Chains A and B, each alone.
Chain A
Amino acid sequence: MSTTVHPPKTLPSGTWTVDPVHSHVAFSVGYHVGTFRGSFAPLQATLEVSDDGQASLTGSVAASAVKVQDENLAAHLQSPDFFDAERTPEIAFASTAIRPAGEGEVEIEGQLTIKGTTLPILARGRIGEEKSYMDRPYFGLELEATLDRTRYGLNWNNPLPNGDPALADDVTVTAELFLTKSA
Chain B
Amino acid sequence: MKILAIPGSLRRDSHNRALLLAAAEQLPGDVQLELFEQLRDVPPYDQDDDREPAPPAVAALRAAITGADALLIATPEYNSSIPGQLKNALDWASRPLGSSVLMNKPVAVLGASTGAFGAVWAQAELRKVLAAAGARVTDAELPVPHAHERFDERGRLTDEDIRERLREILELLVASARPRVPVSAV
Main secondary structure of the interface of B (DSSP, over half): loop
Docked-complex contact A72 and B185, CB < 8 angstroms: no
Number of interface residues of B (CB under 8 A): 18
Q: How many interface contacts (CB-CB < 8 Å) are there between A and B?
A: 53
Q: In the complex the two chains form, what is the Cα distance from A71 to B97 in whole Å?
A: 8
Number of interface residues of A (CB under 8 A): 24
Q: Which of A31-39, A46-54, A75-83, A98-106 contacts B (4 or more CB under 8 A)?
A: A75-83
Instruction: Say whether, besides A60-B185, A88-B183, A113-B186, A80 and B98 are in contact (CB < 8 Å).
Output: no
Shortest Cβ distance from A158 into B: residue: B128
Docked-complex contact A80 and B186, CB < 8 angstroms: no
Instruction: Say whether, besides A79-B131, A80-B131, A74 and B186 are in contact (CB < 8 Å).
Output: no
- Whether B145 sits at the interface, judged by CB under 8 Å, is no
- Whether A90 sits at the interface, judged by CB under 8 Å, is yes
Contact of A91 among B180, B182, B185 (CB under 8 A): B185
Q: Chain B residues with Cβ under 8 A from A74's Cβ?
A: 98
Contacting B at CB under 8 A, from A75-126, are: 75-76, 78-81, 84, 86-92, 94, 111, 113, 116, 118
Interface residues in chain B, defined as those with a beta carbon under 8 Å from any beta carbon in chain A? 97-99, 103-104, 131-137, 180, 182-186
Given A71-B98, A88-B183, 10 further pairs, Cβ under 8 A: A60-B185, A72-B98, A74-B98, A75-B97, A75-B134, A81-B132, A81-B134, A89-B182, A90-B184, A118-B186
